[in-house]
Structure 1
């Protein structure tokens, strides 16, 4: 298999670890990018972008990174805080009156960002096509009832997170989310991708599919067990209501939709650029004091949906001790995505990391492919 790209002097051995993911772990199209102190020190890519293996994967190929999208969305929210248009501790309903429905009148933007709003899933079954209807999905979230008293529990919101925060962003900025993203992030950082995959700078969209042979898990998949135990409970409903959330990720409808918690299509270079900026001493996208606030612990505990110990900042998962949540040093923060993609920042080393893959594993957070790359990188720093 041919491998392409660049490693700065001293980092050449990453070629071998990246290649091993194809040889031993089932990767068939993937990319790795690392920025440090503003410089691109690693950019590797290999394999194919389509299922037939005929379209080469390139440096600017976009792949669905699923929940790695959430970190990008959270950055847009923090930018509105920086502009003075949003106060994290004011009720969301002050900006979006419809959001006050069903006992949500006191939920704050901070609670939404750190998954303490109780708004983890739709309680009632919703139409499969709702996820492709941006205005309809935002309206449904505004009308939704929390699963528990807001602020009382930490519960990850896999999909509603995007419509809740995306709807709030449009209210406070008076700008449609794709345009806000283009102006605030895509243009300043020269990003190829964005939410959805249509109309962005790159036209190279990778097909995604499951790993042909699952990788050994780094931890027990308690989410799957919780779904089986209660098909109508918050965990099951969070991931399967509607069922279209788990299907059709290569379809034109999915790629053309605005599902900002889950259908971000980015290159590894994009993720490294976003987090490389946030890891710098003078970020271009957010004042340094708000970067510190974004990565400061806002909530920590056994998450009611993820069924695991997780520490959240404002929209970002904070680096932990477990290998699949270790984003460099203690100050690291970022967001993994279902299937294996991940982006994170390590402010202690001025480093931004991005890994994107087309072969989706079953791990809850990072899997063995990204973990091996991170661990090898840090042995070289």
Structure 2
């Protein structure tokens, strides 16, 4: 093992197994750059960094390294949407078309925000008409969703809105609240929660961003979710997503950039009656955010799953993962918030190994 792969950081008493497992991931080559954080009772009891932040293996991964965790981003899109509900700009259960008439065509006349947030609006991917659009053509991608027919009658089936989630919410916010997803998140949500997590990485933080890399060049084509990730082209292209224009854009479904410490702290405070999420949303919307909304077979995940408005939930955890291996969760069994964020795009077995060291089960958190 080279010196660059050494694990740095600390673990409190009782958490030595987490360091041991993380070091094993580095030693056997399954991991090349990642961070682990665990929060319990208001303090960080595990903060570990290992490997490198860049493909050239010159920058060591640090506790403040930012990385794109793919669909973990969606939970923060949800919060931005709920801020607009809090402020009365829209409602969870009224037709979106009531305030955005152009959307109410081709079977979407009765689609609601709740259906969008729980992945039941029938728009789990961009339509074929958007195939020629650039990854950063926000307006074109939003328009394609407004014009498209849903793949199924809204509310009748389930499929994670793999790439469309952020653009749907962004368009709804523009049409109903006169603002954007980026503005609501960066001006309201992020400051209220104190998050080192960014939609549109500012110039001063770009040097902290980790480069993504494939564990295997064939990885993107082996994914169960691959059919839902093809349009627009480039979301899984590391040469494209490792650029400043992408990192400084807002592609809400996937390109939040954040740290393991920020995500573990967020999840540790997610359910608290006196926590910042409840203070941001108010008691009613906070309860709605965390409550199980639908349980069904999710065609994108390829398994049966329970969604809240922004998370995956089961008896043991409230969680969200991202394709490529990153995951964060609140353990309902052990009352700790945890995050494993990685730059090496592969399956979720590494996060699952860390979870097992904590006594948690990460079954069904990603999109693989």
TM-score by length of structure 1 reads: 0.84
Aligned-partner Cα distance in 1 for 2:299–2:121: 12
Once the two structures are TM-superposed, the CA of residue 184 in structure 1 deviates from its matched residue by 2.4
Could you say which residue in structure 2 is the equivalent of 1:354?
Answer: 339
Match of 2:96 among 80, 92, 95: 92
CA contact (8 A) 1:5 1:43 kept: yes
Deviations 1:53-104 (A, max 9, x none): 0011111111111111011111222333333433211111223222213221
Once the two structures are TM-superposed, the CA of residue 148 in structure 1 deviates from its matched residue by 1.2
Q: Which runs of 5+ in 1 are unaligned?
A: 216-220, 228-235, 320-329
Name the SS for the 1:68 alignment partner: helix
Match of 1:149 among 125, 150, 153: 153
Aligned-pair Cα RMSD in Å: 2.4
Match of 1:268 among 239, 260, 273: 260
Name the SS for the 1:41 alignment partner: strand
Could you say which residue in structure 2 is the equivalent of 1:241?
Answer: 231
CA contact (8 A) 1:282 1:288 kept: no
Once the two structures are TM-superposed, the CA of residue 349 in structure 1 deviates from its matched residue by 4.4
Could you say which residue in structure 1 is the equivalent of 2:190?
Answer: 186
Once the two structures are TM-superposed, the CA of residue 346 in structure 1 deviates from its matched residue by 3.2
Could you say which residue in structure 2 is the equivalent of 1:109?
Answer: 113
Aligned-partner Cα distance in 2 for 1:161–1:89: 17
1:343 aligns with 2:344: no
Name the SS for the 2:277 alignment partner: coil
Aligned-partner Cα distance in 2 for 1:25–1:295: 37
Name the SS for the 1:157 alignment partner: coil
- Cα 1:249–1:128, aligned 2, differ >3 Å: closer, same or farther? farther
Aligned-partner Cα distance in 2 for 1:130–1:214: 23
Aligned-partner Cα distance in 1 for 2:216–2:61: 19
CA contact (8 A) 1:278 1:291 kept: no
Aligned-partner Cα distance in 2 for 1:74–1:84: 15
1:304 aligns with 2:299: yes
- Cα 1:146–1:212, aligned 2, differ >3 Å: closer, same or farther? closer
Once the two structures are TM-superposed, the CA of residue 342 in structure 1 deviates from its matched residue by 0.8
Could you say which residue in structure 2 is the equivalent of 1:67?
Answer: 71
- Cα 1:19–1:109, aligned 2, differ >3 Å: closer, same or farther? same
Displacement over 6 Å in runs of 4+: none
Aligned-partner Cα distance in 1 for 2:26–2:218: 13
TM-score by length of structure 2 reads: 0.87
Q: Which runs of 5+ in 2 are unaligned?
A: 361-368
Aligned-partner Cα distance in 2 for 1:103–1:160: 17
